[in-house]
């Protein structure tokens, strides 16, 4: 049954790619996922994703302060550790042997290594104005933890247009987060048009097309070789890739049948990319995209 489902979803992914998804400028064939695992139903609302070692990733469930370790050989949960009570947990990243876990309201947990059963070593609240914060990643190049809010600053046209990435020093967590990247939706659309990258659009009642790009971050990750930022937006199923200066590299509209609500992204040391998606009416999945040689 799992093999049949993978074949069906794989074909759906290929069809979606032929309908206009990009993926030309990144080192992955987004039309051909290399592997897909159905996750257990208790992870229907799987949230966040981080690499642990060459054969293991870890994730959260967004209603439980528990870390779940998943084998990349079998797709099964090999271990789970509760570190707090029920909560809206959205972000998870590994920093060395430790883990950082993020609650959507900005409360951060600094957790110990696996030998300590992820003992809570510290908690602190992110001093940023956002109220709905989902994405967490680690930047090996700078040694900083990245924070990507889902919401945007309301009240002005500029605030609605801007998307921000913050960073914190994992060794000095009491320091205020600093902005490391500011993106403008309008500027990204102009860059994409100049590069021939398709922007998702819909037709309005007057027949004119309007961009549907929302870019409300559910996760952030850094590519292990070129250090590009990969920004995942679950609400519109878009994967945006930009360089360190915020220049667009690519934009991929992910297939709704394969990844109906993509909430997590991480990379392995060899460059392979893994994405996780909530079930949203069906089984949650973990999908691998192999890096091109």
Contact 165, 180 (CB under 8 A): yes
Q: What range does the domain containing 174 cover?
A: 2-289
Contact 197, 189 (CB under 8 A): no
> Cα 183–185–186 angle (5° rounding)?
115
Identify the weakest region by mean pLDDT among 136-140, 206-210, 217-221, 236-240: 206-210
pLDDT at 293: 76
> Cα 93–84–106 angle (5° rounding)?
55
First to last CA, the chain: 31
pLDDT at 62: 84
Residue pLDDT, tens place only, 170-207: 999 999 999 999 999 999 999 999 999 999 988 887 77
Tokens of 62: 């967004």
* pLDDT of 4 higher than 50: no
pTM summary value: 0.92
In which element (H, E) is residue 123 found?
A: strand 120-125
pLDDT at 14: 45
Query: How many structural domains compose the chain?
Result: 1
Beta carbons within 8 Å of 113's beta carbon, 6+ residues apart:
97, 98
Beta carbons within 8 Å of 215's beta carbon, 6+ residues apart:
163, 183, 185, 188, 231, 233, 236, 238, 240
Residue pLDDT, tens place only, 62-97: 888 999 999 999 999 999 999 999 899 999 999 999
pLDDT at 152: 87
d(CA 238, CA 79): 31
pLDDT band of residue 22 (cuts 50, 70, 90) is low
CATH of the domain at 22: 2.120.10.30
* pLDDT of 17 higher than 60: no
Tokens of 42: 């208790």
């Amino acid at each position: 049954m799992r093999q049949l489902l993978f074949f069906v979803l794989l074909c759906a992914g290929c069809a979606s790619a032929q309908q206009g998804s990009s993926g030309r400028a990144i080192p992955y064939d987004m039309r051909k996922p290399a592997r897909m695992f159905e996750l257990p139903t208790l992870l229907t609302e799987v949230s966040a994703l981080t690499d642990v070692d060459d054969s293991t990733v870890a994730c959260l469930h967004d209603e439980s302060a528990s870390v779940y370790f998943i084998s990349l050989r079998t797709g099964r949960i090999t271990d789970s550790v509760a570190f707090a009570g029920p909560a809206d947990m959205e972000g998870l990243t590994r920093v060395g042997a430790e883990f950082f876990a993020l609650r959507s309201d900005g409360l951060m947990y600094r957790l110990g290594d696996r030998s300590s059963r992820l003992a809570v070593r510290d908690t602190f609240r992110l001093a940023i104005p956002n109220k709905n914060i989902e994405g967490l990643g680690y930047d090996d190049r700078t040694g900083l933890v990245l924070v990507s809010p889902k919401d945007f600053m309301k009240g002005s046209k500029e605030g609605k247009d801007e998307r921000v990435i913050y960073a914190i020093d994992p060794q000095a967590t009491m320091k205020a987060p600093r902005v490391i990247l500011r993106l403008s939706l309008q500027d990204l659309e102009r860059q994409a048009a100049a590069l021939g990258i398709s922007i998702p659009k819909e037709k309005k009642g007057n027949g004119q097309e309007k961009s549907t790009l929302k870019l409300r971050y559910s996760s952030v990750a850094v590519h292990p070789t070129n250090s590009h930022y990969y920004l995942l937006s679950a609400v519109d199923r878009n994967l945006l890739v930009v360089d360190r200066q915020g220049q667009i590299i690519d934009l991929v509209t992910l297939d709704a049948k394969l990844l109906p609500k993509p909430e997590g992204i991480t990379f392995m040391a060899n460059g392979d990319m893994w994405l996780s998606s909530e079930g949203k009416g069906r089984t949650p999945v973990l999908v691998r995209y192999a890096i091109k040689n």
